[in-house]
Structure 1
Amino acid sequence: MLSFRKKLSWILFFLAAITTVQAQSSRVSGTVGVRPTPTDTLHLFLIGNSFSQNAARYLPQLAKEGGHPLEIGRAELGGCSLQRHWEHAAAAEANPDDPKGKPYKGKSLRMLLSEGTWDVVTLQQNSMNSADPATYEPYAQKLYDYIKSIQPKAEVVFHQTWAYRSDSNDFSQIAPNTFAQTEKEMWEKSRAAYHTIAQKLGVRIIPVGDAFWKVSSDPTWGYRKDPNFNFKNPEYPSLPGQTHSLHVGYRWTNDQKWGFDSHHANEAGCYLGSLVWYSFLFGESPRELTFTPEQVPADFAVQLRKVAETTQNPVRK
Structure 2
Amino acid sequence: MIKMLSIGNSFSCDALAYFGDMAKNANIEVEVWHLEIGGCSFERHYNNMCADMCTYNFSVNGEARPMARLSDVVEKEKFDIVTIQQVSHSSGLYSTYHPYIDEFVDYIRKYQKEAKLWLHKTWAYEKNSSHSGFVNYGKNQMVMYEAICNIYEKIAKEINADGIIPSGDVIQALRGKPEFSYPNEPSLCRDGFHMHFLYGRYAVAATWFETLLHGDIRKVDFLPPTEIVGELYEGELKRIEIIKDTVHSICTK
Task: Give TM-score scaled by structure 2 length.
Answer: 0.87
The alignment status of 1:307 with 2:238, answered yes or no, reads: no
Partner of 1:24 in structure 2?
none
Letter in 2 for 1:275: A
Q: Deviations over 1:2-39 (max 9, x none)?
A: xxxxxxxxxxxxxxxxxxxxxxxxxxxxxxxxxxxxxx
Are 2:2 and 1:42 aligned?
A: yes
Deviations 1:75-122 (A, max 9, x none): 100100011011000112xxxxxxxx2112542101122342100111
Letter in 2 for 1:148: R
Q: Write the distance in 2 (CA, Å) between the matches of 1:171 and 1:211.
A: 24
The alignment status of 1:157 with 2:87, answered yes or no, reads no
For residue 79 of structure 2, the aligned residue among 95, 118, 126 is: 118
In the alignment, is the contact (CA less than 8 A) between 2:22 and 2:222 conserved in 1?
yes
TM-superposed CA distance for 1:43, in Å, is: 0.6
Q: Which moved more, 1:79-88 or 1:184-193?
A: 184-193
| Alignment-derived partner of residue 170 in structure 2 | 211
Contact 1:244-1:300 within 8 A present in 2 as well:
no
**Residue 206 of structure 2 corresponds to residue 275 of structure 1:** yes
Counterpart contact for 2:131–2:193, Cα < 8 Å: no
SS at match of 2:219: coil
Counterpart in the other structure of 1:78 = 38
- The answer to whether structure 1 residue 244 and structure 2 residue 186 are counterparts is yes
How far apart in 2 are the matches of 1:90 and 1:118? 21
1:103 to 43, 49, 55: 55
* Deviation (angstroms), 1:158: 0.4
Among 193, 197, 201, the alignment partner of 1:263 is: 193
Q: Secondary structure at the match of 1:146?
A: helix
The answer to whether residue 90 in structure 2 is matched with residue 129 in structure 1 is yes
Q: Does 1:142 align with 2:103?
A: yes
Equivalent in the alignment of 2:63 = none
Find the counterpart in structure 1 of residue 60 from structure 2.
Answer: none
Residue among 163, 174, 187 paired with 2:145? 187
Report the aligned-residue RMSD: 1.6
Structure 2 counterpart of 1:230: none
* 1:207-260, Cα deviation, whole Å (9 max, x unpaired): 000000001122x1223225xxxxxxxxxxxxxxxx332110xxxxxxxxxxxx
Which residue of 41, 49, 58 corresponds with 1:89?
A: 49
Larger deviation, residues 294-303 vs 273-282: 294-303
For the 8 Å contact 2:89–2:136, the answer to whether it is kept is: no
Aligned partner of 1:58 in structure 2 is: 18
Unaligned runs of at least 5 residues, structure 2: 57-65
- Give the superposition deviation at 1:167: 1.8
- Structure 1 contact 171–186 (Cα < 8 Å) conserved: no
Alpha-carbon offset, residue 148 of structure 1: 0.7
User: Residue 127 of structure 2 aligns to which amino acid in structure 1?
Assistant: S
Q: Deviation of residue 170 (structure 1)?
A: 4.4
What is the deviation of 1:205?
0.3
2:240 partner letter: A
Paired position in structure 1 for 2:129: 168
- State the alpha-carbon separation in 2 of the partners of residues 269 and 106 from structure 1: 27
Confirm whether residue 285 of structure 1 aligns to residue 245 of structure 2: no
Structure 1 residue 181: deviation in Å?
2.7
Cα distance between partner residues in 2 of 1:106 and 1:224: 38
Q: 5+ residue gaps in structure 1? A: 1-40, 93-100, 227-242, 249-260
Secondary structure of 1:263's partner?
coil
Q: Which is richer in helix? A: 2
CA contact (8 A) 2:5 2:79 kept: yes
3-state SS in 2 of match to 1:264: coil
Distance across 2 between alignment mates of 1:60 and 1:143: 26
CA distance, structure 1, for counterparts of residue 250 and residue 186 of structure 2: 18
Identity among equivalent positions (%) equals 27
